[in-house]
Amino acid sequence: MGPFYFFMTPNKFTAVIFLVFAIVVLGVWIPNDVETGLLEKMRRHWVIGDSLAPTLAAGFVLFGAALILLFEKRDEAQFTMAAAQFVFFLKLVIVILVALSVMRHLGPILINTYAAISGLELEYRLLRDVIGVKHIGFLIGGMIMIGGMIAVVEGRLSHRALVIGLIWSLVLILVYDLPFEDLLLPPNGDV
């Protein structure tokens, strides 16, 4: 047990987090973000309102957290979360977010840049059926995702990791995109 758990047992810490979450959902989110109550009168009949189901759902969370707090706070099933573990996880998420961003924007940015330089009227949306153009974002984004994640685990970025990422992205293009006309790889469904 360390300062991370704010001097509680890890189970008590878990319970408190979910207890607070459930209270916020019940006290703030549901009342302010659902238009109808638990029961509503419609055309002189009472019907179940939209609030009932999420209230029960939050009730499950609340009841579960209360059970842990009351009966399971000293159970053997305690979790551990070290700072190094958190940093490692954060790095993975950042790599994925960067890769997704590249996947989404690289193709359009390249086409816009080329259009600006060449003076041609080009638009990514109109070129998204062209082999190569439609794959560039996925290819480079996929390479960054896999290469970056491998690098996070290995503690260093290697050419090998990037090549693996590139090859695997190519394989996925061959599996998902080339044989099927109706399947779209990122970002071709968004543009």
Binding residues among 59-118 for other proteins as defined by CB under 8 A: 59-68, 71-72, 75, 77-79, 81, 85, 88-89, 92-93, 96-97, 100, 103-104
Report the distance separating Cα 171 and Cα 164, nearest Å.
Answer: 10
In the numeric block, the tokens 């996880």 are attached to 89
Report the distance separating Cα 142 and Cα 149, nearest Å.
Answer: 11
Q: How many beta carbons lie within 10 A of that of residue 93, not counting itself?
A: 9
What is the CB-side half-sphere exposure of residue 140 using CA atoms within 13 A? 15
**Residue 120: CB minimum distance to other proteins, A:** 27
**Residue 121: CB minimum distance to other proteins, A:** 26
In the numeric block, the tokens 């009949």 are attached to 45
Nearer to other proteins, 15 or 111 (CB): 15
Nearer to other proteins, 63 or 114 (CB): 63
Site for other proteins in 35-64 (CB under 8 A): 35-36, 39, 45-54, 56-64
Vertex 74 angle, CA 72 and 76, to 5°: 90
Q: Count the residues of the shown chain that bind other proteins, applying the rule CB under 8 A.
A: 77
Nearer to other proteins, 55 or 111 (CB): 55
Contacts of residue 30, defined as CB under 8 A and 6 or more positions apart, other chains included, come to: 51, 54, 55, 58
Of 1-9, 23-31, 111-119, 121-129, the segment contacting other proteins by CB under 8 A is: 23-31
Nearer to other proteins, 85 or 113 (CB): 85
- Residue 142 binds other proteins (CB under 8 A): yes
In this structure, what token pair is assigned to residue 80?
A: 């551990």
Q: Is 34 helix (H, G, I), strand (E, B) or coil?
A: coil
Q: Which of 43, 119, 121, 180 binds other proteins (CB under 8 A)?
A: 180
Report the distance separating Cα 108 and Cα 127, nearest Å.
Answer: 10
Nearer to other proteins, 123 or 154 (CB): 154
Of 109-117, 118-126, 127-135, 174-182, the segment contacting other proteins by CB under 8 A is: 174-182
